[in-house]
């Protein structure tokens, strides 16, 4: 298996590397923010009332196609994700619907950033999600890639299958195919990936809610509590 920068590794290297990166990331974030928590059922979330430097993760760019909710929303949730990440799929199925209720109330904005730690199929899928976003269908496509809280097999993340999925969602397949393969799309996805890495995000999923990090696909109640805390702080 190769990573998104073209380096070749044995197939077992990627999941091991992701697990190691996640452990290192937790330690780094705890040191940077003074967070407390565990790698198990409780989220690692900063308890300090001050917004950490992870607030830089927010773009609040009104032209950002990989986002939902008003740019001026009091709370922003940034999700660092990968389309081959099983916990990202579970979160999308179980927790995203609850978060979307806050988006509909104009209290929350959600921004997605692909890290593509699992390699070329992840990067290709990220480009596909942006191609769908260019036709106003980012959420539909994102949800379809994570249908029923599961990731697709790598064989089902080929260009042909990604285009077929777009067509099944009613998108223009020719326009989608051109955007999927365009340099502009590749540059944007690479820039998002580099930005995540610059922030120290090398595993998925990682979330930033109101400037505070949450590690892993934690239960919905944890995100609801984090949202309430961030909303109270914003008000």
Q: Is the pLDDT of residue 200 over 60?
A: yes
Q: Is the pLDDT of residue 143 over 60?
A: yes
- How many of the other CB atoms lie within 10 Å of CB of 36? 11
38 CB-contact burial (10 Å; exposed 0-12 / middle 13-18 / buried 19+)? exposed
So what's the pLDDT on residue 7? 35
So what's the pLDDT on residue 58? 86
Among the residue ranges 30-44, 50-64, 71-85, 97-111, the one predicted with the least confidence is 30-44
Find, among 53, 51, 93, the residue nearest to 229 by Cα.
Answer: 51
* pLDDT one-digit tens code per residue, 29-42: 433 333 333 233 33
Rounded Cα gap, residues 28 and 31, in angstroms: 5
What pairs with residue 206 in β-bridges? 80, 215
Rounded Cα gap, residues 1 and 161, in angstroms: 19
Residues of the chain with pLDDT > 90: what percent? 71
* pLDDT one-digit tens code per residue, 87-117: 999 999 999 999 999 999 999 999 999 999 9
223 CB-contact burial (10 Å; exposed 0-12 / middle 13-18 / buried 19+)? buried
56 CB-contact burial (10 Å; exposed 0-12 / middle 13-18 / buried 19+)? middle
Which secondary-structure segment (H or E) carries 167?
helix 159-168
Q: Is the pLDDT of residue 73 over 60?
A: yes
More confident residue, 16 or 196: 196
* pLDDT one-digit tens code per residue, 159-184: 999 999 999 999 999 999 999 999 99
Which secondary-structure segment (H or E) carries 76?
strand 75-81
Task: Please report which confidence band the pLDDT of residue 26 belongs to, taking 50, 70 and 90 as the band edges.
Answer: very low
216 CB-contact burial (10 Å; exposed 0-12 / middle 13-18 / buried 19+)? buried
């Amino acid at each position: 298996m190769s990573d998104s920068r073209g380096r070749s590794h044995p197939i077992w290297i990627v999941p091991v590397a992701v697990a190691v990166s996640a452990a290192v990331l937790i330690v780094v974030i705890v040191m940077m923010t003074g967070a407390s928590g565990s790698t198990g059922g409780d989220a690692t979330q900063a308890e300090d009332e001050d917004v950490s430097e992870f607030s830089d993760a927010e773009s609040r760019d009104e032209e950002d196609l990989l986002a939902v909710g008003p740019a001026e929303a009091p709370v922003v949730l940034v999700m660092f994700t990968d389309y081959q990440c099983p916990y990202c799929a579970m979160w999308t199925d179980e927790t995203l619907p609850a978060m979307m209720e806050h988006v509909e109330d104009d209290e929350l904005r959600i921004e997605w950033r692909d890290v593509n730690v699992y390699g070329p199929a992840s990067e290709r899928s990220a480009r596909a999600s942006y191609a769908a976003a260019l036709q106003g269908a980012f959420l539909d496509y994102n949800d379809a890639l994570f249908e029923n809280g599961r990731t697709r097999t790598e064989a089902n993340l080929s260009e042909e299958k990604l285009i077929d999925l777009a067509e099944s969602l009613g998108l223009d397949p020719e326009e989608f195919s051109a955007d999927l393969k365009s340099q502009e799309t590749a540059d944007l996805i690479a820039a998002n990936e580099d930005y995540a890495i610059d922030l120290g995000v090398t595993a998925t999923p990682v979330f930033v809610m109101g400037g505070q990090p949450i590690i892993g696909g934690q239960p919905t109640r944890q995100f609801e509590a984090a949202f309430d805390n961030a909303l109270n702080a914003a008000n």
